Amino acid sequence: MRAMWFFALREAADPRPSSLHGAFLPPSITLQPVIYSNGKASVKQRTGDFQFVPMAQISISSLDDPRLAVYRQLKRSNLTRWSGLFIAEGDKVVRRLLASRIEVVSVLAAERCLLEFAPLVPPHVPLYVLPDRLLPEVVGFNFHRGILACGRRPADACWQHVFAEAASRRTLLVLPAIQGPENLGLLLRTGAALGIDAILLGPQSADPWSRRVLRVSMGLALHVPLRQARDVRSELQALAERWGVRLIAAVPRAGTPLMQARRYPRLALLFGNEGEGLEPDLLARCHEQVAIPMPGGADSLNVAVAAGIIMHHYLHGPVLPG
């Protein structure tokens, strides 16, 4: 095990890293101490149009190193759900995690990914580096992406923050029982891409911070307020009575045709799972039910497909004002 320092060369007008330098520094460059907000000391240098920022990297050669515990045998268990942590894997998801406000606990990279990711990792975050051949042995499967990160699960979104502006227009996505990780990942990805303001999940839904959900969502949901409720019914009651949210249920048939649905300043779109749909008492709590006309004769659509159509209609379509 050894600690190494890398210096990222950044142009002052462009925050993106342009190259990396190791021990060599031109004689005209001097390094000055810097104290970060976490109290740790480091150094940086500025000269002309360039700035050097130090990056700490820890090389690990033993599979038994305790710092790798959270990354071990990822397919065998989802212990991170109970530890308050989660694992992001792959280039896009790790990049979006590093760019989010979520706390990053550590990053694990194969040697081949070091030059690409070292400039992106904050100085206070441990960057563990393994030989390429050892990374699959740690995670427990044939892993080719070369980069993972461990994040700390954020606190649930607070409705006071979501509705901070009294007259604000807000659209929420409510998923009481989406049990399939792929469907949940697609729903989160679609909602984030279309500009949903917050997402409410019920206790029967899949873990939104699982590796599979994050992978399918491409990490987009890392930037959307997310709330996991123990009791969806009480949450819906509070949204309707306290925050003036109109509750709209998506149903396969017998609802208001989508193109005739009206837009309200604050609304929540509810989607059930594919097998059972929404439970009757949840439907009874909703102010309105909407359906997508299907002249082709299909009984229903995949829930992620249907949700994408309905969310796009309410967020960007020609909706009549309520």
CATH 3.40.1280.10 segments of the chain: 159-321
> At a CB cut-off of 8 Å and minimum separation 6, what does 297 contact?
none
Predicted local distance difference test score (pLDDT) of residue 29: 40
Write out pLDDT tens, residues 275-309.
Answer: 889 999 999 999 999 999 988 877 778 999 999 99
- 280/42 Cα distance (integer angstroms): 59
Superfamily of domain 159-321 in CATH is SPOUT methyltransferase, trefoil knot domain (3.40.1280.10)
Task: Please give the torsion angle defined by the CA atoms of residues 61, 64, 67 and 70, in that order, rounded to the nearest 10 degrees.
Answer: 120
| pLDDT tens string 63-103 | 889 999 889 878 765 666 678 899 999 999 999 999 999 99
Question: What pLDDT sits at residue 251?
Answer: 95
Q: Which of 113, 97, 99, 126 is nearest to 38 (CA)?
A: 126
* Pick from 36-50, 225-239, 264-278: least confident: 36-50
Model pLDDT, residue 49: 41
Best-predicted range by mean pLDDT among 4-8, 49-53, 249-253? 249-253
CATH of 2-152, one of 3.65.10.10, 3.30.1330.30, 3.30.360.10, 3.40.50.261: 3.30.1330.30
The mean pLDDT value of the chain amounts to 82
Flag whether the pTM goes above 0.85: no
Phi, psi of 201 (to 5 degrees): -115, 145
